[in-house]
Amino acid sequence: MDWLTYHKASEAYATKAHTALSDGRNHDAEKLFRRAAAAEERALLQLNPAKIRTFGITAVSAASLWFKGRDLPRAARLVQRCLTQPDLLPPARAQLEELRSVIPSVTAQPASVTPPPSSDAPAGHLKRWAWC
């Protein structure tokens, strides 16, 4: 399969996750976010290395979906791997670094799909990943 096929699957799972979340089915939403993340990460592996903008967008999306699915170790590993890419564009690098800085504070909180921002986190830091 190619990038587009995996990416579309990720979008479909993410849409279902948002529906489950708005219906109050947080556990189902987390599972669907993890499925979306797995598909988006597979999409990332299919990318042509020359597509650096698409790589950054897909990397942020996949890491954010792992975050929303509360698989924080996988989110952290993916963020770390992507940050080692020398061609990563500054906007994607900044978003991944911000996500990396938020993960430790969320790990200490009780489980929920979208934890409240901590007082030391930048205002609106979770809104950046709301599009996933």
CA atoms of 44 and 78, how far apart (whole Å): 11
Half-sphere exposure of 17 toward its Cβ, with a 13 Å CA cutoff? 27
The pLDDT score that the predictor gives to residue 108 is 57
Between 58 and 107, the more confident residue is 58
Which two tokens mark 114?
A: 């979208």
- Asked whether 66 and 34 are in contact (CB, 8 A), the reply is yes
Q: Which of 90, 91, 99 has the alpha carbon at shortest distance from 66? A: 99
- Asked if pLDDT for residue 26 goes beyond 60, the answer is yes
Which two tokens mark 105?
A: 């504070």
CA atoms of 84 and 92, how far apart (whole Å): 12
- Give the tens place of pLDDT for each residue, 41-78: 999 999 987 899 999 999 999 999 999 999 999 999 99
| Model confidence, pTM | 0.81
- Asked whether 52 and 87 are in contact (CB, 8 A), the reply is yes
- Asked if pLDDT for residue 121 goes beyond 60, the answer is no
